[in-house]
A and B are shown apart, each in its own frame.
Chain A
Amino acid sequence: MKYTRGTIAALLAGVTLIASAIPLKTDVAHSNVSAVFKQMNVPVESKFKSFNAQIDYDAAHPDKATARVDIDTASFDIGEAEYNKEVAGKDWFNSAKFPKATFVSSGIKPVGAGKLNVSGKLSIKGKTQDVTFPINIKAEGGKQVFEGQLPIKRLAFNIGEGEWKDTSMVADEVVIKFRIAAGQ
Chain B
Amino acid sequence: MQRYTTPAIVLHWLIAVLIIGAFTLGLVMTDIPGISPTKLKYFSWHKWAGVTVLVLATVRLLWRLKNRPPELPEAMPAWQRGAAHGLHHLLYVLIFAVPLSGYFYTLAAGFPVVYFGLFQLPVLIAKNPALAETLKPIHYWLNMIMAGLVGLHVLAALKHQFVDRDGTLGRMMPGRSH
Contacts and interface: CB of A to CB of B under 8 A. Distances in A.
A80 to B, nearest CB: 8
Interface residues of A, number: 19
B37 A163 contact: yes
Contact of A169 (B41, B120, B129): B41
Interface stretch (B15-23, B65-73, B108-116): B108-116
Chain B interface, DSSP helix/strand/loop, else mixed: loop
Interface in B85-118: 109-114, 117-118
Contacts of A80: 109
Interface residues of B, number: 20
A80 B118 CA distance: 26
Given A40-B41, A169-B40, A169-B41, A83 B35 contact: yes
B34 interface: yes
Contacts, number: 44
Interface in B1-58: 33-37, 40-41, 44
Interface of A: 39-46, 78-80, 82-83, 85-86, 163-164, 166, 169
B156 interface: no
B132 interface: yes
A85 B40 contact: no
Interface of B: 33-37, 40-41, 44, 109-114, 117-118, 120, 127, 129, 132
Given A79-B129, A169-B37, A169-B40, A40 B109 contact: no
